[in-house]
Structure 1
Amino acid sequence: MRALILSDIHANKPALDAVIDHAYMDGARYGAVFSLGDALGYGPHPREVLEVLRGLNAQCLLGNHDLGLLQLVDGQRTATVGTGTQVLVWQIGRLSERDLRFVRTWKDVIEEPHLGARLRHGSPLSLNEYTDLNAARRSFREWGGTLALVGHTHVPAAFATLQGTDAEWMRHQPLAIPEIKSSIRYPVPPKARVILNPGSIGQPRDGDPRAAYGVYDTERRCFEVFRVPYDVDQTQRDLRASDLPRALADRLGRGQ
């Protein structure tokens, strides 16, 4: 099975469109499409991104921004000062009841038997936890699975430890891709337990402004991360026209 792995789209439709065009070129097919959370937040195209995800029949996870938006709608969270919350309030005004019903169907965690994987936004243990070295070690100790797919950091990476170890032996491999290349492959080592992160489509934070996505192939036990250029200028123009903080537009060009 080949699965298309999307994450951290952050309401950036030009980036998502470029990724979908690239992922499906030459008639490529996937057994499933997953969105690892934070389809919303930060960007100017919340309604449009949700429409694309519906069209893909994607299985969607809640990210912290998606959850925060629902909490604002339900009065469980106050609209405090802060860029992230400001964007969510703005996005709520542009979403229909149908859109909100769709987001309410998203799960905190997916256990996917065809992949043999746990899918979650932050770490195998928590929607909100950033998977760094310490979090990965804790996950390997407390979570009994062999494969996890996560997002949240906006940086493509792989963490691996050997089955049966206490998780103190661990390898962290950033999946950075030189500008002259469009992808990098990570073969999952035999008998290893791994946590894989495809990076962010809509707001990369590794200094590379190209949109990032992943494909996991269960037969080959291979994770491939792709980087795709998109019309950053269009997203920046739309952000500035929305009167949201200028820094949101500026950072896209820097991949930060």
Structure 2
Amino acid sequence: MRLLLLSDIHANQAALEAVLHDAAARRYDRIVHLGDAVGYGPHPAEVLRTLRDLNVVGVTGNHDAMLLDYADGRRTARESVVSIALRWQLERLSSDDLALVRGWPDGVDDPEVGARYRHGSPASRDEYIDSVTAAREAFAGWEGRLAFVGHTHIPGVYATLNAPVGEWIKFQGFPEGGSYLVPPGARVILNPGSVGQPRDGNPRASYGVFDTGRGAFEVFRVAYDVERTQEAALEAGLPQVLAARLAIGK
């Protein structure tokens, strides 16, 4: 089985379209969305409609959860860029859109693949695995072998390797894309990066493909029409920083 792995689209329809076009030639059997379909960007309804049409396996991200908090009156409005974008998006989403987001669980254990799908870490939607130290803590609190996460907006792999001193944690990043074969006996946390708002200095959209038969993880970087998203964000009156950062991958 081949999994198409998407994460952190953040209401960027131009990036999502470019990724889906690129992925069509690579063959996949199932699409897994690792959270944060909404937040930041100007196309929340379009992105959710696309994900609904694709019948993705989805989990909630922290921005998805915050959107529902605003919808249900559990969160107080703030003047942060996160709050401004989410409240603007909420006004443009239908009941069907919100129902889709409500239907995504906090995490999914996939027995067919033998993997856990979660936004932040195998143990938490909100934790960041952005260092070897954070990865070591995540491995200590989770007994599985294979996990797919997002949240950092940076594609990479954290892997455990046996060493004379005990379990050793290693990181491999994919700023320009690349591939990784899961070593026999290793435990791994795989991150396909962000479709809609990369943060590793490369503005190209990032996504992953995992071949369960070969244990092969591939990350691809795809150019998309950044200006289209920037113009839509500015026309919507969203904070300028949300448009500007797309061009530099930060």
TM-score, normalised relative to structure 1: 0.94
Would the alpha carbon gap of residues 161 and 101 (structure 1) be closer, same or farther in structure 2, given more than 3 Å must change?
A: same
Note the alpha carbon deviations across 1:65-122, whole angstroms, 9 max, x for none. 0000000111111112211011000000000011111110001001011221111000
Query: Is 2:234 the counterpart of 1:237?
Result: no
Match of 2:88 among 87, 90, 100: 90
2:126 corresponds in structure 1 to: 128
1:148 corresponds in structure 2 to: 147
The 1-side partners of 2:134 and 2:103 are apart by 27
**Which of 65-74 and 168-177 deviates more?**
168-177
* Paired amino acid for 1:93: E
* Paired amino acid for 2:241: A
Computed over aligned residues only, the root mean square deviation of the Cα atoms, in angstroms, reads 1.5
2:209 corresponds in structure 1 to: 215
Query: Is 2:22 the counterpart of 1:19?
Result: no
Number of equivalenced pairs: 249
The 2-side partners of 1:99 and 1:238 are apart by 20
The 2-side partners of 1:157 and 1:29 are apart by 21
* Paired amino acid for 2:157: A
The 1-side partners of 2:64 and 2:179 are apart by 30
* Paired amino acid for 1:46: P
2:97 corresponds in structure 1 to: 99
Would the alpha carbon gap of residues 147 and 203 (structure 1) be closer, same or farther in structure 2, given more than 3 Å must change?
A: same
Q: CA deviation at 1:174?
A: 1.2
Query: Is 2:35 the counterpart of 1:46?
Result: no
Residues 72-221 of structure 1: matches in 2 within 5 Å?
72-132=70-130, 133-162=132-161, 168-177=167-176, 183-221=177-215
Note the alpha carbon deviations across 1:165-212, whole angstroms, 9 max, x for none. 9975110111221xxxxx411111111000000000000000000000
* SS of alignment partner, residue 29 of structure 1: coil
* Paired amino acid for 1:241: E
Query: 2:161·2:170 contact (CA, 8 Å) conserved in 1?
Result: no
The 2-side partners of 1:109 and 1:130 are apart by 15
* SS of alignment partner, residue 41 of structure 2: coil
Q: CA deviation at 1:164?
A: 10
The 2-side partners of 1:153 and 1:41 are apart by 14
The 1-side partners of 2:71 and 2:247 are apart by 31
Query: 1:161·1:167 contact (CA, 8 Å) conserved in 2?
Result: no
Would the alpha carbon gap of residues 202 and 223 (structure 1) be closer, same or farther in structure 2, given more than 3 Å must change?
A: same
TM-score, normalised relative to structure 2: 0.96
* Paired amino acid for 2:72: D
2:10 corresponds in structure 1 to: 10
Unaligned runs of 5+ in 2: none
